[in-house]
Structure 1
Amino acid sequence: MTAIKSPLNDEALKVAGEALQGSLIDLIDLSLFAKQAHWNLTGRNFKVVHEHLDEIVALARTGQDDVAERAVAIGVSPDGRARTVADRTKIPQLEAGYLDDDKVVAAVVDVLAQLIARFRERISATDEPDQVTQDLLISITGELEKQHWMFQAQI
């Protein structure tokens, strides 16, 4: 049962809800991925990369809140529980222990590229059913692409 009456028809709600839930999982795990790298970073570019990882965390946390609130606004209950994220994430996990800054930069570039591809698929999927959700996903994708460029420039 939904607590919020959706402004969308059932099919549009299904498409938008799936896009938002997938985005929520990606953004929650992106924040965890970046924090793990941030805490375990080593190397000659430590300070720059360390601080840049916090930008990723901030972007991911803001985005996940926006995505979850959009889901609720259209009558979809967002699921950001740890078990859900762990079971459904597609982000490859970092190795345990200290991480060389060059490896972290390369891993961030790869992860952001994967997320951008998934967000672009969601943008296409939501074009007809829910352009408001699409607009939110476009905005987040723009920020992900900016961070991708900035990390890629460090390689």
Structure 2
Amino acid sequence: MTAVKSPLSEAAQKTTGEALQGALVDLIDLALYAKQAHWNLVGPRFKVVHEHLDEIVDLARQAQDDVAERAIAIGVNPDGRSRTVADRTEIQQLEAGSLADDKVVAAVTGTLFEIIKRFRERVAATDEPDPITQDLLISITADLEKQHWMFQAQS
């Protein structure tokens, strides 16, 4: 088995790898979170919110793939296993059962806000060790902030 040799120093690889792993956990759980809300949504704004949740899922799934592939490119093995995500997620989980559309909008808005804060911390952490990863994280943060704005506008 051949490991990918990192283009980064050991310290830069460690810092960047931690930022990417945290981002991966956030993105995997965000996709799951949005699907859970999507499946259990009820209320007068069902269709609009239901379809908007799929945009979140699509964004999170594409971004998690980009993050995992960047990790491999710098010689870090991403860990997207369900146990890892369950153990490390910082996302407050939704209640089981039917979810009112207004509560989902508020919950998703809050969840996106918290994820964005962590992504901005990762952007700052990768400034010096790996500007290429930082660029990826900036791009994902911009997409998350757009979705945050769009959900916030619904409340």
TM class, shorter-length = over 0.9
* 1:86 and 2:49 are equivalent in the alignment: no
Give the number of aligned pairs: 155
Letter matched to residue 150 of structure 2: M
Output one character per residue of 1:69-113: Cα deviation in whole Å (capped at 9) or x when no partner: 000000000000000000000000000000000000000000000
Q: Secondary structure at the match of 1:95?
A: coil
Match of 1:121 in 2: 121
Give the CA deviation at 1:40.
0.1
Match of residue 58 from structure 1: 58
Aligned to 1:49: 49
Deviation at 1:2, TM superposition (A): 7.1
- The answer to whether the aligner puts 1:3 opposite 2:3 as a matched pair is yes
1:9-52 CA distances to partner (integer Å, 9 max, x unpaired)? 00000000000000000000000000000000000000000000
Secondary structure of the structure 1 residue equivalent to 2:5? coil
2:110 is equivalent to residue 100 of structure 1: no
Structure 1 residues without counterparts, runs of 5 or longer: none
For 1:42 and 1:3, how far apart are their aligned partners in 2?
A: 48
Q: How far apart, in 2, do the equivalents of 1:2 and 1:81 lie?
A: 22
| TM-score in terms of structure 2 length | 0.99
CA–CA distance in structure 2, aligned partners of residues 2 and 42 of structure 1? 50
- Whether 1:71 and 2:71 are equivalent positions in the alignment is yes
Q: Quick one: distance in 2 between partners of 1:123 and 1:49?
A: 29
Q: Which amino acid aligns with 2:142?
A: G
1:18 equivalent in alignment to 2:7? no
Whole-Å Cα distance in 2 between the matches of residues 123 and 2 of structure 1? 30
**Matched-pair contact (CA < 8 Å) for 1:70–1:133:** yes
Give the Cα separation in 2 of the matches to 1:2 and 1:134.
26
Q: Quick one: distance in 1 between partners of 2:133 and 2:87? A: 24
Residue 139 (1) aligns with residue 139 (2): yes
Whole-angstrom CA distance in 2 between matches of 1:40 and 1:2: 44
Distance in 2 (alpha carbons) for counterparts of 1:15 and 1:59: 24
CA–CA distance in structure 2, aligned partners of residues 27 and 4 of structure 1: 24
